Structures are given as C-alpha cells and as structure tokens.
Amino acid sequence: MKVSDWGGIDSGTQYRCRHGKPPWRMLCWDGRHTGRRYLGCPMVGRSRICVFVKWIDEEWPTKFQEVACTLWDVNAKFKKRANDAQADLLGAIQLMNEMYEEKEALITEKEDLAKERVVLVSQKEAFQKQAALRSRFAHASCSTLQDRIARDVQDKKMVFAVIVCMIGLMVAILFGIVLKK
C-alpha cells in the first residue's frame, strides 16, 4: 500500500531489488505488520521472481500485532457477511424475476386460451346458423313435396269422379236405347 506522505521511488537509497531497480516506499496493509513502512520491489504484482522487502519501521509490540490481527479477522467476518447478504439479495432478486416471468407466461397462456375460446364460440355459432338454415330448407322441401302429393291425390280423385260420371251417363244412354226398343 502507498500513502501520501510515504510513497514513490526511493532514489536516495543504496538498496536495489532483485530486478536491480531502486525500491518503492510501501506500507504493509495486512496482518500483524499492518501500518509498517518498508521498501519493496517496484514491479510488485507484475513479477513474482522478486520478493525484496526492507523494513523501515521496527516490529510492532506483540500486543499491537494481536490487535491488528483481530481487526483483520473482524474485517474478514464482516466482508463474508456482506458477501452472504449480497448473495441472498441476488438470490431473492433472481427468484422474484423467475416468479415474474412465470406470471407473465401464465397471463400469456390465459390470453391465448381466451382467444381460442372466442374462435370456438364463433365456430359454434356458425355451425348453429348453418344447421338452422338446413333445417328450414328441409322443412320447406318437405311441405312442397306434401303439397304436390296432396294435389296429385286430388287430381286422381277428380279423374275418378269424371270416369264414374261418364260411366253413369253411358249406362243411362244404354238404358234409354233398351227402353225405346
């Protein structure tokens, strides 16, 4: 770690890191050495071959080291709790999204069913109309046929009556002829 009043390349020192470069003024920011100044490799984080460390501050008293370690432990616990809480939150958000999607899908399905129902109802109505039309047509055809049959029967009756009359007339004429003789 670098801080404002302690940082940059220490060009005045005779120390050189394993890269042969003048070291960087660094501040330890982890564990029991927290806050201790040191000179470190300027390539830190970019190269692993160099582990040059030259402490500037003396080692902290043991009690302070314990306190520093405890603080980092507490920090780690809070970090973990924060991460867990974030994971819970993300899980809840995902669940909510899934529920929302499910709801949308159900609404779409319901709308599709309603549309299907409208189509079925209109089909049913069309069938009913057609059936009514056919029934009316059949009824009309039937009564026409009945009328025709009735007329035929009447015609036949009239022909029969005429024949009977003619026969009667002929019989009368024959009787007349016989009586004259």
* Of 17 and 68, CB closest to Zn ion: 17
Q: Kindly state the smallest distance separating residue 52's Cβ from Zn ion, in Å.
A: 5
Q: Kindly state the smallest distance separating residue 48's Cβ from Zn ion, in Å.
A: 10
Q: Kindly state the smallest distance separating residue 39's Cβ from Zn ion, in Å.
A: 11
- The end-to-end CA distance of the chain, in Å, is 166
Q: Kindly state the smallest distance separating residue 89's Cβ from Zn ion, in Å.
A: 42
Contacts to Zn ion from residues 13-52, by CB under 5 A: 17-19, 41, 43, 50
| Sign of the four-CA dihedral 109, 111, 117, 120 | negative
* Of 18 and 110, CB closest to Zn ion: 18
Cα 70 to Cα 68: distance, rounded to the nearest angstrom: 5
E strand or H helix at 78 = helix 62-180
- How many residues sit in the footprint of Zn ion (CB under 5 A)? 6
* Of 33 and 40, CB closest to Zn ion: 40
**Over the range 4-39, which residues count as b (16 or more CB within 10 Å of their CB) and which as e?**
eeeeeebeeeeeebeeeebbbbbbbeeebbbebbbb
The reply to whether 54 sits near Zn ion by the rule CB under 5 A is no
E strand or H helix at 53 = strand 53-55
Residues at the contact surface with Zn ion, assessed by CB under 5 A: 17-19, 41, 43, 50
